[in-house]
Amino acid sequence: MKRKLILPIDRGSPLPIYYQLKEALKQQIESGALKPHDRMPSERELEEAYHISRMTARRALAELEAEGYIYRVQGKGSFVAEPKVRQGLLWLTSFTEDMRGRGMRAGAKVLRAEVVKDERVARRLGLDPAEEFVMLQRLRLADGKPMALETSYLRRHFCPGLEKYDFTDRSLYRTLQEEYGLRLGRAEQTVEAKVADEFEAELLGVKPGTPMLSMERITYLDDGQTPIEFVRSVYRGDRYKLYVELKRR
């Protein structure tokens, strides 16, 4: 069924037509007028409705796809994507806790679980280069779909044998507390933008060069001073966003 388009386009505006069209379509998605998995207007429909060039329509849709608002299906067109998962930055929570708190099923595909030495990680934690870690690398899933690639390094001294657990559906932080009596107190986290390399792209189901969120976190025990974990995570930029509330001093 052909969709009737009533999106405002001001040809007298200094803003490019493709940008106005993109923002108007984005507003329709964010307001719920266009719902997840609804078919988007095609390039041809946009071209005919607004008397614009096919290139203009294509650019608007391409930017919506790059920003994670829509996805393409070969031979069928573009569709509205699921809303991004939003993570607050105030509380120390695990991926499993984050997903369950949003009504999503958390899962993982365990790629590696082994005892290693890593001088770079040891330096980041201020430890002896000979420190041993349990390295756990997982492809994190939300409702069965790839969300992130996560590589954790945990000090083996505090959790010997951790590599023997099956973390396909098991929470790492809950295991640390229930099996080893370790209580986590705080963490220091950095976030930066990156693009997916070939390895990350293949695992996460995106094209190389796709925008990603890269996070590094050092987690401390409840004494606030003892580092227990270093973790690197790469999240799909089209499925995940960060949220923080700021207050003026």
**Cβ neighbourhood burial of 237 (10 Å; 0-12, 13-18, 19+):** buried
Give residue 56's pLDDT band: very low, low, confident or very high (50, 70, 90).
very high
pLDDT score at 100: 66
pLDDT digits (tens, 9 = 90+) for 176-216: 999 999 999 999 988 898 999 999 999 999 889 988 989 99
Percentage above 90 pLDDT, the chain: 47
Looking at the fold, whether 74 and 90 belong to one and the same domain comes out as no
* Overall domain count for the chain: 2
Q: What is the CATH number of the domain that holds 47?
A: 1.10.10.10
Same domain, 189 and 144: yes
Domain presence at residue 11: no
Residue 9 domain-assigned (yes or no): no
pLDDT tens-place string over residues 122-132 = 999 999 999 99
- 137-139-141-146 Cα dihedral, nearest 10 degrees: 160
Other Cβ atoms within 10 Å of 43 Cβ, number:
21
Domain edge (last residue) among 65, 80, 95? 80
Note the pLDDT tens digit of each residue in 126-158: 999 999 999 999 999 988 889 899 999 999 999
- Provide the residue range defining the domain that includes 104: 85-243
Q: Has residue 110 got a pLDDT over 90?
A: yes
**104 and 193 belong to one structural domain:** yes
Question: Has residue 38 got a pLDDT over 50?
Answer: yes
List C-alpha distances in Å: 87 to 92, 101, 141: 11, 10, 15
Higher pLDDT, 88 or 150: 150
Instruction: Kindly state whether residues 75 and 112 are assigned to the same domain.
Output: no
206 in the same domain as 101: yes
Distant-in-sequence contacts of 87-94, Cβ < 8 A, 24+ apart: 87/240, 87/241, 87/242, 87/243, 88/242, 88/243, 88/244, 88/245, 89/189, 89/242, 89/243, 89/244, 90/244, 90/245, 92/184, 92/185, 92/186, 92/187, 92/219, 94/171, 94/172, 94/173, 94/174
Does 109 have pLDDT greater than 70? yes
Residues 149/140, Cβ–Cβ less than 8 Å: yes
Counting residues of the chain whose pLDDT is more than 70, the rounded percentage is 86
State which of 80, 112, 135 marks the end of a domain. Answer: 80
Domain presence at residue 153: yes
Q: Residue 158: give its domain's CATH number.
A: 3.40.1410.10
- Looking only at the bridges linking them, the beta strands covering 77-80 and 85-88 are unpaired
Note whether 61 and 77 are within 8 A (CB): no
